[in-house]
Structure 1
Amino acid sequence: MFDSLADRLQSVFKKIRGHGRLDEKSIQEGLREVRLALLEADVNFKVVKDFVDRVRERAMGQDVLGSLTPGQQVVKIVHDEMVDLLGGEHLGLQLQGKPPVVIMLVGLQGSGKTTTAAKLALHLRRVKRSPYLVPADVYRPAAIDQLHKLASQLDVPAFASTAQMRPVDICLQARDEAIREGLDVLLVDTAGRLHIDELLMEELVAVKQAMNPQEILFVADAMTGQDAVNVAVKFDELLDLSGIVLTKMEGDARGGAALSIKSVTGKPIKFVGMGEKVSDLEAFHPDRVASRILGMGDILSLIEKAQGSIDQDEAEALQKKMQKAEFNLEDFRTQMRRLRKLGSLEGMLKLIPGMGDLRKQLGEMKMPEKEMGRMEAIINSMTPTERKNPKLMNANRKLRVAKGSGVKVQDVNALLKNFEQMQKMMKKMTSGGGLGGMKMPSGPGGMSLPGGMGGPGGLTLPAGMSKHGTKSATKKKKERRKKKRR
């Protein structure tokens, strides 16, 4: 998300920081580009005007113009104002009160309410709550079935509603059922329409009056830009929303809705959907998002992702293996699977301060997702004994593995050679300790990332991957020899 805006703003601030001294003219020119960048990102024009005016007022002060580092001061002002624009501070779900707490999801059809209900159920279970999914959309034929399937995948209970029932009756009966079963949070998936109409809003008001929900979350498709903001205003007028969930943020490189919706509605963004999987839901932290947009990284979100997918005991056991040079292909395969859970390498680089330039340098290089899949296929084609002791791999075994995984023998050789080099490197890196063996050498305050994650200057790509490509060392040597002969 925000890729286009982030690239544009980072380019603007690079120019501003390049000035030894700033004057009124250079600040005005910089802010003009900031305004254009925000407008191109589909941010509401009134929001852009107010934002730029506030930045200009602060940037024209003597504290900035007389500073030894005026460029840095301007960037800090923009960061602070952007945090305010996005909501100031993270506001989580309000779950106080007598159980079951009711969370009502509202929005237009196709905005992602049903999937968001399941995502929130998973989130609530992770914070030790007992969610109960309530399918109250009786108009869309597949809505009830979809929510029941998602509930089954998550092993979360769902109320057995039918399309013949009234939405208010469904909610009341579900609440009684939740009380009997000791479930403490009701997630009500309400009906939507292709557009706002009187019948829809009357029904939602009736459900609100019957259930008295602690949270009414408006679910909006971020890809619709300012339309999502305008619809949120209309829903808020009738229902008094408590917060907003923006879906499909992974496909919205501009981010205009996210940057406008808090200022226009006054309601905080609480979560953003970053994909179709039920695990692809992130709490919305305005300060972290502002840092991402301005190229400052988001190390806290990266750590939270890693902690969510990496078991502490397993990481410590793996560290001991690395230190004793017992790290084998079974362990390597496990680490690759963990990395996949964290997302793409490109996505992780965005979160690490100072790694934005490296991401651009990688350019057209194959991202490791496909390469990791090919390496896993090679490892899967080995026997358990071979995975635990790669030195057993002779010519016949390599040929068998190559055929079984659909690659060439040279690819198997490259994996084994790179793995051997990685073993040596990891042993050196873990000699000083560090969770999971991968220390972050230059993080804020010496902070280290959980097992399997490196930091700036220390990010380790899977075996066979480098920022120069995926060729094996042997192939590179052959190419150099050919050039010399010519």
Structure 2
Amino acid sequence: MVLADLGRKITTALQSLSKATIINEEVLNGMLKDICTALIEADVNIRLVKKLRENVRAVIDFDEMAGGLNKRRMIQSAVFKELMKLVDPGVKPYQPVKGKPNVIMFVGLQGSGKTTTCTKLAYHYQKKNWKSCLVCADTFRAGAYDQVKQNCTKARIPFYGSYTEVDPVVIAQDGVEMFKKEGFEIIIVDTSGRHKQEDSLFEEMLAVSNAVKPDNIIFVMDATIGQACEGQAKAFKDKVDVGSVIITKLDGHAKGGGALSAVAATNSPIIFIGTGEHIDDLEPFKTKPFVSKLLGMGDIEGLIDKVNELKLEDNEVLLEKIKHGQFTLRDMYEQFQNIMKMGPFSQIMVRSILL
């Protein structure tokens, strides 16, 4: 479960309200201290933690509260809203338009899982019947094109790259133009991983951006580097117009809060989170369900989305069989296959029950 340790600590802190006989300043301060400690331990930026604490305190004024108000509910609601603000800059993400070419450029640090995430995103759209493809403009890392070739071949995603051309701008431009002519709707451009101290690579990134004129630039953020995410995110944002964020390696890392709080530096919305190494381990990010899941409330909305992806209501033949009592072992096998498409059983349970 994403940031499960942080979720447990915040949930425990909120439960202290239920155990308290009287809700007063002392109980509120104790709860806020526990929540702030949990966030700081998870590498959330201390400035943002301080702001969260101040905002909750500003909302809760015991002297002004009417006698009949549910103080527990008000405090829990205030904490919930502030946690949502922590990961939601309030900016709407870019929405691809069906029937036209949508150029999406990926940028990020070396080793952040950028190339793998490119394939995951192309596969995500392919499953939704978008005509998607991938352009490998990473000429800096040895074996980058081979990795793209292997990933795309396995997922049956069209790709473009070159073993001989060394200029990423030329490769990106040629690849995008070719796929536009062929009528592709999602054209993903993978670029070299780079660090904010590598000025020449940052200039190269800007040159690629100017050449392909992407509709959306996605910054891939590695959750394992903690608070270092913020400086890197700001450097990328200052150089190119980062429009969205994908956080990777968030599935098992206790200090992923650094990546979540770094979103504030880009002022760009998180659109997906990486939840594993497999090609379909890419989860659309929705703020409210994410915070609900973090607080142990489950994610029913996410579970419904997973079920809807299977399009079970379209299977009229099966429904007729069930109506007439003709459900066979083969039909049962097909339904088990549908359940498997929803992902690991542990993820389904996390969505539907408490942490």
For residues 250-269 of structure 1, what are the alpha-carbon distances to aligned partners after superposition, in whole Å with 9 as ceiling and x for unaligned? 12244313430222332221
The equivalent of 1:380 in structure 2 is none
For residues 185-205 of structure 1, what are the alpha-carbon distances to aligned partners after superposition, in whole Å with 9 as ceiling and x for unaligned? 321100114674112101101
The equivalent of 2:26 in structure 1 is 25
CA–CA distance in structure 2, aligned partners of residues 106 and 73 of structure 1? 41
> Which structure has greater helix proportion?
1
**SS class of match (2:251):** helix
Q: Judging changes above 3 Å, is the alpha-carbon distance between structure 1 residues 44 and 306 closer, same or farther for their aligned structure 2 residues?
A: same
**SS class of match (2:242):** coil
Q: Is the 8 A contact 2:222 2:259 kept in 1?
A: no
Query: How far apart are 1:159 and its partner, in Å?
Result: 1.5
Query: How far apart are 1:57 and its partner, in Å?
Result: 1.1
Structure 2, unmatched stretches of 5+, are none
The equivalent of 2:347 in structure 1 is 347
Q: Is the 8 A contact 1:21 1:65 kept in 2?
A: no
Query: How far apart are 1:327 and its partner, in Å?
Result: 4.7
**SS class of match (1:249):** coil
Q: Judging changes above 3 Å, is the alpha-carbon distance between structure 1 residues 21 and 324 closer, same or farther for their aligned structure 2 residues?
A: farther
CA–CA distance in structure 2, aligned partners of residues 28 and 43 of structure 1? 19
Q: Is the 8 A contact 1:19 1:71 kept in 2?
A: no
The equivalent of 2:309 in structure 1 is 308
Q: Is the 8 A contact 2:243 2:269 kept in 1?
A: yes
The equivalent of 1:142 in structure 2 is 143
Corresponding letter in the other structure for 2:81: D
> Which structure has greater strand proportion?
2
Q: Judging changes above 3 Å, is the alpha-carbon distance between structure 1 residues 160 and 88 closer, same or farther for their aligned structure 2 residues?
A: closer
CA–CA distance in structure 2, aligned partners of residues 57 and 42 of structure 1? 24
Query: How far apart are 1:67 and its partner, in Å?
Result: 4.4
Report which stretch shifted further, 242-251 or 150-159: 150-159
Q: Judging changes above 3 Å, is the alpha-carbon distance between structure 1 residues 300 and 88 closer, same or farther for their aligned structure 2 residues?
A: farther
The equivalent of 1:93 in structure 2 is 94
- Cα RMSD of the aligned pairs, angstroms, is 2.6
TM-score norm. by structure 2 comes to: 0.90
TM-score norm. by structure 1 comes to: 0.67
Q: Is 1:337–2:337 an aligned residue pair?
A: yes
Q: Judging changes above 3 Å, is the alpha-carbon distance between structure 1 residues 61 and 127 closer, same or farther for their aligned structure 2 residues?
A: farther
For residues 51-100 of structure 1, what are the alpha-carbon distances to aligned partners after superposition, in whole Å with 9 as ceiling and x for unaligned? 11101111225575744421122111111111121116684434359953
Q: Judging changes above 3 Å, is the alpha-carbon distance between structure 1 residues 72 and 92 closer, same or farther for their aligned structure 2 residues?
A: same
Query: How far apart are 1:349 and its partner, in Å?
Result: 2.5
Q: Is the 8 A contact 2:219 2:246 kept in 1?
A: yes
**SS class of match (2:159):** coil
Q: Is 1:51–2:38 an aligned residue pair?
A: no
Query: How far apart are 1:18 and its partner, in Å?
Result: 2.8
Report which stretch shifted further, 43-52 or 269-278: 269-278
Q: Judging changes above 3 Å, is the alpha-carbon distance between structure 1 residues 317 and 3 closer, same or farther for their aligned structure 2 residues?
A: same
Q: Tell which structure's C-alpha radius of gyration is larger.
A: 1
Report which stretch shifted further, 85-94 or 115-124: 85-94
Structure 1, unmatched stretches of 5+, are 360-486
Q: Is the 8 A contact 2:302 2:351 kept in 1?
A: yes
The equivalent of 1:103 in structure 2 is 104
CA–CA distance in structure 2, aligned partners of residues 62 and 336 of structure 1? 57
Corresponding letter in the other structure for 2:307: A
**SS class of match (2:192):** coil
Query: How far apart are 1:295 and its partner, in Å?
Result: 1.9
CA–CA distance in structure 2, aligned partners of residues 299 and 137 of structure 1? 39
- Tell me how many residue pairs correspond in the alignment: 354
Corresponding letter in the other structure for 1:312: E
Q: Judging changes above 3 Å, is the alpha-carbon distance between structure 1 residues 129 and 304 closer, same or farther for their aligned structure 2 residues?
A: same
Q: Judging changes above 3 Å, is the alpha-carbon distance between structure 1 residues 65 and 79 closer, same or farther for their aligned structure 2 residues?
A: farther
Q: Judging changes above 3 Å, is the alpha-carbon distance between structure 1 residues 229 and 98 closer, same or farther for their aligned structure 2 residues?
A: farther
Q: Judging changes above 3 Å, is the alpha-carbon distance between structure 1 residues 123 and 83 closer, same or farther for their aligned structure 2 residues?
A: same
Q: Is the 8 A contact 1:151 1:157 kept in 2?
A: yes
For residues 268-289 of structure 1, what are the alpha-carbon distances to aligned partners after superposition, in whole Å with 9 as ceiling and x for unaligned? 2111111122211122111111
CA–CA distance in structure 2, aligned partners of residues 90 and 325 of structure 1? 51
Q: Judging changes above 3 Å, is the alpha-carbon distance between structure 1 residues 203 and 186 closer, same or farther for their aligned structure 2 residues?
A: same
